[in-house]
Structure 1
Amino acid sequence: MGANGVLRQRMKQLGLTQEELAERLNEALQEITGRPGEISSRTVRNLLSGSSCRPISRTCAALERVFGCPVTELGFSAPSSMQHPPEDPVRRRNFVLSTTATAVAAVPLGTQRRSVGMTDVTRAAESMNRLVEADDRQGGHQALAAAALKGRDHVMELQQRNAGERVRRALYALAAEYSTMAAWACIDLRDLDTAQRRLHESATFAGLSQDPPTGLRVWVNMAMLAYQRRNWPEQLAAARAAKASPAARRDPFFGSMGRVRLALAHSSSGDRQAAKRELGAAQETLLKAGEVERPRWTSFYGPAELNHLAAIILNHNGQSAAAEAMAHRALSRIPEEFRRNRALATCQLALAQLRQGEPEQATSTATSVFTIMDGAVLPGRMRTLIGDFHRDLLRQAPSTTYARDWADRMREEWSRA
């Protein structure tokens, strides 16, 4: 008999290596017989090579438990003690184990859940990608947070089924992504207490996934949350953790992401020199990043977003002219479909213009934020920036026609909430 391609394909679907299948088979035997199994990776190699085309009853029972189907559907011939009567389809789906002087009760397969493989992970990830696209367009909103939590619950339900170690890690990484997306939506909505709970949950999933980019993403979002809370020490600590993370050390792309978060944290703390140093390092590091496949959530980051974040840092540092230049540079490169990011960069441009004593031009720029968002409710984070602009404008030019027109437009947009 030749190599067993059917078994190899089923192992691939579940993401199982030979060593992992041996481990799963031994666990199944423990459940069936009450005693640990002794199946080795060498046994699995024999099953795959075809040198063992009729496994013994114990091995067959374990195979059926792991893969959820009769061994005949795995490319094997069942031993006589496990022949399933063709006239009774229910009995054909019962596990039967016959050993000398021992009869073990069968477990109906109908009561077991289907095993999970990488195809299931891919399908769940596609739903995550749609949420990322919705966030790019509109930013955080209640429906996005609810959809993210629904996706997380689905992924955790998949975790309850049979799966290999690689699949389990991928599912935990995906659960972390869904929880982080829910947290991100809450940050945009300024529901910061809920965001913190979601991020703590996400940190747990990220640790279980052992996936470096997922871990870095959690630290980045923790730094952003601390910034929104105006908790500068925690922002600095989270940003340092992002910079020191394995993903940041291995890939210049993630290294740049961690460094710019550290630059923002230094800026918030009033350390302008450190902020300037880390911003320059983030810019240099990004130039070294190669074009490789990365998670879908990273699509927002690149030269355009780095310029946007640089505008925020420069505005914090009182360098309004440089901030204006960076905001213009960001807007020239942020894709049109990233409406939320374009609107946020426009807010930074308006603030930079206002702080240079150009209130009328700044008002025109700020008004374009509403056009960019195209009638969508402004996320809470954006409303905070618009509120800052509004207060500064009324201090500079309280009785001007354009300031009064701005106030009317702002009230109209605020009423959408």
Structure 2
Amino acid sequence: MATTRNAALAAFLTEHQMTASELADAVNHAISDLTGRQGATSERTVFRWLSGESRWPQERQRRALEAVTGRSITALGFVPRGKRTSVSASPAEESKVYRREFCGAATHAAAAVAVPFLAAPSRVGTADIIRLREHGERLVALDADRGGHGTLAQAALAGAAEALTLQRQSTTQRVRQRLLALASDFTATAAWSSIDAGQLDVASRHLDRALTLAGLAQDSDMTMQVWNLRAMLARQRKEYGEAVAASQAMLTTAGARRSPLHASLAYARTAVGFAYRGDRHEALRCLGRAETLLEKADLAQPRAPWIAFYGPAELHCLSAIVRDQTGDPAEAEAAYHQALTALPTTYRRNRAYTTACLALSQLHQGDVEQACATRGCPVNDLRYAG
């Protein structure tokens, strides 16, 4: 009987950048936490799971897999033998996993950003990385829905502090580096939230810290994320030369060199910097490179949460900004319409921002009534234009 590859488990490993050896190690540690006895799962065992040769792990391995991943055993692609229909108890019932509220008071937003962690962990490893990474993903989703705010920034900084605490307890260099990268990611999230809230000096301090942590982690993807935010911050401060320099720094990272998607974002951000600096030729040249590179990118491939926002909709929006700044408001308006059409419904903050920019591009063409209709304000109320 032919075996079927476990695509769900393989996708989980790819998403979380885990090797078979790391998963085996995490499962063994979870078995020890659950039973008091060290597990004996090997790298070969994981390969058998991935190949489909072993379709239903032992009971303690199933419980450990659920505790490590936070997913049910069937969601991980495993199939019960024979007539068995039940799966093992949830990790919330079977393992010593607790949740902590980083933000104190039980507002709806605070509940949304609570981060799970092991109470008094005896070991630090892949399971901790997964939990913290999923917490970061929740913060990114919350930002897409609500935009930057104080609660989100506080939760992100708490996540960074937790990652740094764990890395000091870690016994392996690889785990330490991954935790440092997570600390950088959380700190960058706090910086972005501060930028979105108009707290530019606070954001600058966070970005300085995030860049240091990315360097300690030797993580080029996190380094690129920081330069991306630095370019956005410089533009808001009207420091357009620094915005261009930060965007060009993005292009020197390993991520931009190996990934058309990352390179496309870097060129698009550079184009915006040149447009605000008044260099139309360079702005349009970089915009053309961004469009060409995005066509080459495989948008179905897993990507880090920080760059999940980038795709056709975001490039249309950045193109519109470039066109508006270089004196083509009609082309900008068309690009904003394309951005709104392509924008996922979950990106509520981006949709509100893009709609406001669309109204401004219409106003720049002298179409006051259409601009006000787009913005949803009375014709005699043009305060938003400032």
Give the TM-score of the pair, scaled to structure 1. 0.63
Residue 365 (structure 1) aligned with residue 342 (structure 2)? no
Alpha-carbon distance in 2 for matches of 1:358, 1:278: 30
Shift of the alpha carbon at 1:15?
12
Alpha-carbon distance in 1 for matches of 2:27, 2:180: 15
Equivalent in 306, 310, 317 of residue 301 of structure 1: 310
- State the match for 1:64 in structure 2: none
Q: 1:179, 1:198 within 8 Å by CA — same for their partners in 2?
A: yes
Shift of the alpha carbon at 1:353?
0.6
Per-residue displacement from partner, 1:96-129 (whole Å, max 9, x unpaired)? xxxxxxxxxxxxxxxx962211111000111111
Shift of the alpha carbon at 1:189?
1.0
- State the match for 1:354 in structure 2: 363
Residue 13 (structure 1) aligned with residue 26 (structure 2)? yes
* Secondary structure of the corresponding residue to residue 337 of structure 1: coil
Q: 1:329 to 1:171 in 2, by over 3 A?
A: same
Shift of the alpha carbon at 1:11?
7.5
- State the match for 1:402 in structure 2: 379
Alpha-carbon distance in 1 for matches of 2:186, 2:265: 20
Tell me which amino acid in the other structure corresponds to 1:261.
Answer: R
- State the match for 1:337 in structure 2: 346
- State the match for 1:197 in structure 2: 205
Alpha-carbon distance in 2 for matches of 1:14, 1:265: 47
Q: 2:159, 2:186 within 8 Å by CA — same for their partners in 1?
A: yes
- State the match for 1:207 in structure 2: 215
Give the TM-score of the pair, scaled to structure 2. 0.68
Per-residue displacement from partner, 1:382-407 (whole Å, max 9, x unpaired)? xxxxxxxxxxxxxxxxxxx6214x66
Whichever of the two has the greater Rg, that structure is 1
Alpha-carbon distance in 2 for matches of 1:201, 1:175: 10
Q: 2:264, 2:293 within 8 Å by CA — same for their partners in 1?
A: yes
Residue 237 (structure 1) aligned with residue 245 (structure 2)? yes
Q: 1:14, 1:164 within 8 Å by CA — same for their partners in 2?
A: no
Tell me which amino acid in the other structure corresponds to 1:285.
Answer: L
Shift of the alpha carbon at 1:319?
0.4
**Superposition pairs for residues 3-402 of structure 1, below 5 Å?**
12-13=25-26, 114-290=122-298, 291-367=300-376, 402=379
- State the match for 2:36 in structure 1: none
Alpha-carbon distance in 1 for matches of 2:352, 2:121: 46
Alpha-carbon distance in 2 for matches of 1:135, 1:10: 30
Tell me which amino acid in the other structure corresponds to 2:380.
Answer: A
Q: 1:116 to 1:191 in 2, by over 3 A?
A: same
Shift of the alpha carbon at 1:9?
7.7
Alpha-carbon distance in 2 for matches of 1:170, 1:118: 9
Q: 1:162 to 1:253 in 2, by over 3 A?
A: same
Shift of the alpha carbon at 1:225?
0.6
- Stretches of structure 1 that go unaligned for 5 or more consecutive residues are 1-7, 17-47, 50-111, 369-400, 411-417
Q: 1:223, 1:239 within 8 Å by CA — same for their partners in 2?
A: yes
Tell me which amino acid in the other structure corresponds to 2:379.
Answer: Y
Alpha-carbon distance in 2 for matches of 1:209, 1:123: 18
Shift of the alpha carbon at 1:364?
1.2
Q: 1:9 to 1:217 in 2, by over 3 A?
A: closer
Alpha-carbon distance in 1 for matches of 2:23, 2:133: 21
Per-residue displacement from partner, 1:36-86 (whole Å, max 9, x unpaired)? xxxxxxxxxxxx99xxxxxxxxxxxxxxxxxxxxxxxxxxxxxxxxxxxxx
Tell me which amino acid in the other structure corresponds to 2:352.
Answer: A
* Secondary structure of the corresponding residue to residue 402 of structure 1: coil
- State the match for 1:94 in structure 2: none
Shift of the alpha carbon at 1:10?
9.2
Q: 1:206, 1:214 within 8 Å by CA — same for their partners in 2?
A: yes
Shift of the alpha carbon at 1:165?
1.5
Shift of the alpha carbon at 1:13?
2.6
Shift of the alpha carbon at 1:160?
1.7
Bigger helix fraction = 1
Tell me which amino acid in the other structure corresponds to 1:322.
Answer: E
Alpha-carbon distance in 1 for matches of 2:213, 2:367: 48
Q: 2:22, 2:126 within 8 Å by CA — same for their partners in 1?
A: no
Pick 1 or 2: higher relative contact order, CA cutoff 8 A, min separation 6. 1
Per-residue displacement from partner, 1:1-59 (whole Å, max 9, x unpaired)? xxxxxxx789723999xxxxxxxxxxxxxxxxxxxxxxxxxxxxxxx99xxxxxxxxxx
Alpha-carbon distance in 2 for matches of 1:15, 1:344: 47
Alpha-carbon distance in 1 for matches of 2:334, 2:167: 48
With 146-155 and 270-279 compared, the bigger mean Cα shift is at 146-155
Alpha-carbon distance in 1 for matches of 2:286, 2:170: 45
Tell me which amino acid in the other structure corresponds to 2:356.
Answer: C
Alpha-carbon distance in 2 for matches of 1:296, 1:284: 23
Alpha-carbon distance in 2 for matches of 1:318, 1:14: 58
Q: 1:155, 1:175 within 8 Å by CA — same for their partners in 2?
A: yes
Tell me which amino acid in the other structure corresponds to 1:268.
Answer: Y
